[in-house]
Amino acid sequence: MEVSASYISDSRFIVVAKNDSGNILYPRPNHSVCFGQITSRTQKPGLRFTTKAMRCEPARPGHVSDSHSVTRFKLLDSVRLHVGLPMDAVSDSNTVNHARAIAAGLKALKLLGVEGVELPVWWGIVEKEVNGKYEWSGYIALAEMIQKAGLKLHVSLCFHASKQPKIPLPRWVSMIGESQFSIFFADKSRQPCKECLSLAVDDLSVLDGKTPMQVYQEFCESFKSAFSPFMGSTITGVTMGLGPDGELRYPSHHCLAKSTNMSGVGEFQCYDKNMLNLLKQHAEATGNPLWGLGGPHNAPDYDQPPNSNNFFSDYGGSWESPYGDFFLSWYSSQLISHGDRLLSLASSTFRDTEVTVYGKVPLMYTWYRTRSHPSELTTGFYNVANRDGYERVAEMFARNSCKMILPGMDLSDEHQPRESLSSPELLLAQIRTACRKHGIKVSGQNSYVSGAPGGFEQIKKNLLSDNVVELFTYQRMGAYFFSPEHFPSFTNFVRSFNQPILHSDDLPMEQKQVVEPPSMSSESSIKMQTA
């Protein structure tokens, strides 16, 4: 089996599969297979690249003369590798988009040795028109394709909307929101964020007489029933959507202006009617009723830096005052309670299957090198100088026996804007330390589809740093993924999963031996040729 990807004259991307006799299997005669238009950055007319089956020779253990010394290897192949399918793999009308291209892409991934794929399943597509009426046909068709290709499937249940590609919330939910803005989060200008429902309505009967928790529960039960033939065999993991972009967070950065490159701190999302009611109740219960009238009055706007107002100032900022601690404790506790409810729901729903439940935590690394960590605070993580805000999050995941997904494993500190005082590496290390302490395994992801500078090397560095990460999902399949600019690098990355890497700690100081990686057969190469 030979799988190739091509760029043709009209800037379309095509995947072609041939059998051993050279006969074309995909696409059929007179059919084109296209992921859509590609950008000028990835357009390379007249180039075709072909992947052939990879074969690795057994690794040769290193020799150490001291009979009492043991040379150990850290293997990247101890980490399972998945690739995300296109966000719009299933269309708004519940059919499979780019079906032939995806089928050929699945063959290519299988040949490379990738274990499985990740598939976003959208609430706004499955339960589009009527509460309780589900349409799974498009996703079932994809699951059958994945099963046929011999790959595993990780499903992400998406209870949020997407801007790119545009996938809204269910139509019936949006119609309710038109007259009841309070089902959505709101900022200090009372502008609603319609990407997801406010966590303050989790247990309120605002959806045709049902609570959102009841609606999520019924959705999960329907998914479990519809995909029962795949559970535990093809489907091995389910990610429970926890908020915007599926992550456990407030939509604190959803309204950033497009006209500025400033890395703003975001805004607190506590001004919808139901969040304000919860804040008021909490303030009265703690004997400070005036603190329950709203969020911090001296916090910056979305695009402003921390020092533009007094709340996040590193020294003397209101975040360190009794009021600041009161508000930030409440704000983060509401988020953690929301995550606890949803992960508990998912764990109980899938308990009798062999499916592992995951939840995703964001990597809000901008301004991490300040004392107040404002981007994390507005997002809902009370993580500041001398206070670890991820301990309670890790405890919550452990309590529900869920695994954690962490993005940003392709990001390095050296490529961050100096003025943003960012540190994705330090934040990632902090969260992983909390996970290790509570026995939580982590699934890693990259953040940029177009590739972060030095991204593959940074990913490998993170995967080798400890034994917390057990699964890595590379995001995401599409035209750029299979482009000549990218796919050869991804192939080398996959190849490295089968190569032993000797840790320097494993050799005695006086012995400086080099352990060569196993040789690769010529069949593992990427062949570039003119079309």
Tokens 């009426």 sit at which residue? 133
pLDDT on residue 464:
86
Residue 6 lies in a domain: no
pLDDT on residue 33:
40
pLDDT on residue 385:
94
Segment 191-220 shows an average pLDDT of 97
Domain span at 179:
72-252+263-498
Which of 239 and 2 is assigned the larger pLDDT?
A: 239
Segment 6-14 shows an average pLDDT of 39
Query: Phi and psi of 162, rounded to 5°?
Result: -125, 140
Segment 376-389 shows an average pLDDT of 97
Which of 70 and 448 is assigned the larger pLDDT?
A: 448
Residue 402 lies in a domain: yes
What CATH number did the domain enclosing 327 receive? 3.20.20.80
CA angle 237, 406, 275 (to 5 degrees): 95
Question: 86 with 35: CB under 8 angstroms?
Answer: yes
Residue 522 lies in a domain: no
pLDDT on residue 331:
98
Which of 245 and 497 is assigned the larger pLDDT?
A: 245
Q: CB 289: neighbour CB atoms within 10 A?
A: 11
Residue 107 lies in a domain: yes
Residue 519 lies in a domain: no
Is the pLDDT assigned to residue 11 strictly greater than 80?
A: no
- What confidence category does residue 105 fall into, taking pLDDT thresholds of 50, 70 and 90? very high
- What confidence category does residue 489 fall into, taking pLDDT thresholds of 50, 70 and 90? very high
Between CA 239 and CA 184 the distance in angstroms is: 22
- Residue-wise pLDDT for 397-452, tens only, equals 999 999 999 999 999 999 999 999 999 999 999 999 999 999 999 999 999 777 77
Burial of 367 (0-12, 13-18, 19+ CB in 10 A): buried
Closest by CA position to 192, among listed 122, 279, 250: 250
- Residue-wise pLDDT for 331-362, tens only, equals 999 999 999 999 999 999 999 999 999 999 99
Residue 41 lies in a domain: no
- Of 80-94, 120-134, 248-262, minimum mean pLDDT range: 248-262
Question: 128 with 170: CB under 8 angstroms?
Answer: yes
Segment 47-62 shows an average pLDDT of 35
- What confidence category does residue 297 fall into, taking pLDDT thresholds of 50, 70 and 90? very high
Segment 328-332 shows an average pLDDT of 98
Domain count, the chain: 1
Is the pLDDT assigned to residue 505 strictly greater than 70?
A: no
Which of 521 and 15 is assigned the larger pLDDT?
A: 15
Residue 305 lies in a domain: yes
Residue 23 lies in a domain: no
DSSP E strand stretches across 462-504: 469-474, 500-502
pLDDT on residue 287:
97
pLDDT > 70 fraction of the chain, expressed in percent and rounded: 78
